[in-house]
Structure 1
Amino acid sequence: MTNAFTTSGMFGALLCDPKIAEEFGTIAFTDRMLAFEAAWTQALAACGFVSELDANKALVAIKAFPRQNLGQGSDRDGLPVPALVSALKFTLDAGAARAVHSGATSQDVMDTAMVLTCLSVMDEMTARLTRIIAGFDAVLEKFGDDALMARTRMQAALPANVVLRVDAWRRPLTEHLVRAADVRTQLSVVQIGGPIGSREIPKPHVADCASQVAEMLGLSLGPVWHSDRSRIVTFGHWLTLVAGSLGKIGQDVALMAQQGIDDIALSGGGGSSAMAHKQNPVDAEMMIALARYVAGQQGILGQAMIHEQERSGAAWALEWLTLPAMAEATGAALNHAEILIAAIERIGEPD
């Protein structure tokens, strides 16, 4: 995440998720940019825009790229792609250099790499959601019939069973899991628009090239979405829903764990530096904090919809600031949820 006291040094894994962070890291993201460049080079050769010999030379350079730090190039150009393309072409003759990136643009590379990253993140998150739902199934099997006071507006309402509350936790998560399939479909569209989003270079091969690149990357080909950021914001919305549902669970558990309520018993730590009798519901608290953070970031991400003309540097950079942090925070909340479910020793009114 963005800082959290230098990510993990001060707070451990409370507010970060190294696995999700790695998806947005230099190595993984560079590999996805290179995957686009390799697919584009292969498509240029298949369409006859460059020779197979030149394409093979270019592919060797792409495969051999040392994953060097592209940060200095970003400092200069506002993004890493120009430095990447320059490095790939550096040792190539003119014919082979023409097989690298010709007709593509930085946004094609960055957006497609971001799509591939988001899809990989969704794979990990849906796997975690599946485990969490299974965990709640086990909780229901064990405690579902136990008595629990239902509460409305934080006041005792009517007697109920544990199943009432836990099913209210579980049901939205199952819906988010189903919804993920549609979000994946919306995300799985390659970005190929060329310099201004008109998708017309290399003539007359661009349609064939674009189709082949999409197929090689496991994506579909749709209209150019250079300045339509709906897909990215839709993914952010899904993260907000997942994190928000987890935050609701965390809020309920924190209230249930209050001394005097004691509707849940949790194993594990959560000690106080000053009050030895306390056992703080740390995982529940982090789920609440992370949900609120993701919800706030979604408001910022929504502003990235406002792209001026055919491409925005500012709105685009706003995505890079917010989306990885939202994903990592949601991943951390999912981790806390798994730990929380495993820590439940009793749920329902104490005997």
Structure 2
Amino acid sequence: MSRSLYSDHASGDTAAAGHLSDRAFLDAVLEFERALADAAEDTGHISPAAAAAAREAIDGYTYDVADIAAASAAGANPAIPLAAALKQRATDTSGIHTGATSQDAIDTALALCARRAVGEIDRVLSEVEKLLEQLARTHRDTPVMGRTLGQQALPTSFGLITAGWFEGVRSSAARLRETAAALPVQYAGATGNLVATHPDGIAVHDRLAQLLGLADRPLVWHTNRQPFVDVGLAAAVVAGAVRKIAGDIIAYSATEIAEVAEGSPGGSSSMPHKANPAAAVACDGYARRTPGLAATLLDTLDCRWQRGTGSWHAEWQTLRDLLAATASAVSRIHTSLDGLQIRTDTMGERVAHDNLGHAPEITDIILEGDRS
């Protein structure tokens, strides 16, 4: 379950990572258990006394992450020792883990963590969009040499280049928000038929979704892993969009080109003359991790019978690491763009003519596109 402390902190913004830590994950399992007691009481499936006993046990429970991790080995997931500890504390156990299976708790907890992390990623993406829009408007008519297949091509505008960056971020961010908003609650019981809470099971499920602010459909997705794959792939596309920007900034910053420079470049331990585009380089490094993680999530779609054997277990760290890597890439591209120096004189020296074609108009069309 453990995640990378260095990787999170080196990104400069740990807000998203804070929702993806082991403790956040386990806290979300307890959040599920408490909301389940409330939902079961609200629908009349358990008594107010049983719900009160459950809440008292959950609210007063403290745990050690390392202890839970060690105890998880026996059942292959952390919800089992957590539920056992709560039942041990409760004076009435009928309100603890009512009608649930461990996958219900784990999936719902991961959905909560993912949605909260995406909220933080989206916050920074909004700032990235603002920086890119400002660059595009400022340099709408700034001529720069276009380059294709590694060679100089024809002139274009730097505004159109940055508008292209903006468009990639805007569209991928919208898809990430959409998939996060669609993350559902999981509550279906041991084999997905809610038999343990019949005839109240569906009512409990829907009330639980309402209490946790998660979608209530699909009703059962124990072996339908598309909700997590969707949000993971959307995050990987965001990482790809900002990696494109990072790659261009690195290329434009090369000594032989020197058309842009980061506002606070990085140095070298052995070459004091260097001014490295360190934030863009770090963005590239974080983003490069996401395709492999996304591929692992795609592999989890092979989820057999009524419970995944290994495929489900592979999701927990993979999705959290993918979202954390995306958050770090987004944070680093924000740092790279904030204060980015545009050397218009150097750009102009390489342009043989200033006929930009429709570049300024295309820039306007991109910037004024649908932002919903």
TM-score by length of 2: 0.87
**Secondary structure of 1:150's aligned partner:** strand
> Which runs of structure 2 are paired with 1:33-182 in the superposition (5 Å)?
33-69=29-65, 70-93=68-91, 96-182=92-178
Q: Which residue, 164, 176, 199 being the options, matches 1:204?
A: 199
Query: How far apart are the structure 2 equivalents of 1:40 and 1:46?
Result: 10
Q: Which residue, 312, 325, 331 being the options, matches 1:335?
A: 331
Task: Evaluate the alpha carbon distance shift between residue 202 and residue 12 of structure 1 in structure 2; reply closer, same or farther with a 3 A threshold.
Answer: closer
Task: Evaluate the alpha carbon distance shift between residue 2 and residue 256 of structure 1 in structure 2; reply closer, same or farther with a 3 A threshold.
Answer: farther
**Secondary structure of 1:329's aligned partner:** helix
Aligned length: 344
Task: Evaluate the alpha carbon distance shift between residue 275 and residue 181 of structure 1 in structure 2; reply closer, same or farther with a 3 A threshold.
Answer: closer
Contact map agreement 2:263 2:341 (CA 8 A) in 1: yes
Offset, 1:115: 0.6
Query: How far apart are the structure 2 equivalents of 1:349 and 1:157?
Result: 19
1:193 match: 188
Query: How far apart are the structure 2 equivalents of 1:251 and 1:287?
Result: 9
Contact map agreement 1:183 1:235 (CA 8 A) in 2: yes
Q: Which residue, 263, 269, 272 being the options, matches 2:268?
A: 272
Q: Which residue, 256, 259, 264 being the options, matches 2:255?
A: 259
Query: How far apart are the structure 2 equivalents of 1:237 and 1:158?
Result: 35
Query: How far apart are the structure 2 equivalents of 1:136 and 1:65?
Result: 47
Query: How far apart are the structure 2 equivalents of 1:141 and 1:2?
Result: 44
Q: Which residue, 196, 205, 215 being the options, matches 2:210?
A: 215
Gaps (5+ residues) in structure 1? none
Query: How far apart are the structure 1 equivalents of 2:72 and 2:131?
Result: 44
Q: What does the per-residue CA deviation read over 1:121-151, in whole Å, with 9 as the maximum and x for residues that have no partner?
A: 1111111110001011222233332221011
Offset, 1:44: 2.1
Offset, 1:298: 0.9
Query: How far apart are the structure 2 equivalents of 1:166 and 1:306?
Result: 40
Contact map agreement 1:190 1:220 (CA 8 A) in 2: yes
Query: How far apart are the structure 1 equivalents of 2:288 and 2:344?
Result: 27
Query: How far apart are the structure 1 equivalents of 2:2 and 2:109?
Result: 20
Query: How far apart are the structure 2 equivalents of 1:132 and 1:297?
Result: 24
Gaps (5+ residues) in structure 2? 349-372
Offset, 1:16: 7.8
Offset, 1:176: 1.8
Q: What does the per-residue CA deviation read over 1:12-45, in whole Å, with 9 as the maximum and x for residues that have no partner?
A: 8446853333212233222211221112112222
Offset, 1:294: 0.6
1:346 paired with 2:359, answer no
1:311 paired with 2:307, answer yes
Offset, 1:240: 0.8
Taking only the aligned residue pairs, the percentage that are identical comes to 27
- 2:14 is aligned with what amino acid? P
Q: What does the per-residue CA deviation read over 1:35-56, in whole Å, with 9 as the maximum and x for residues that have no partner?
A: 2111211222233332211211
**Secondary structure of 1:316's aligned partner:** coil
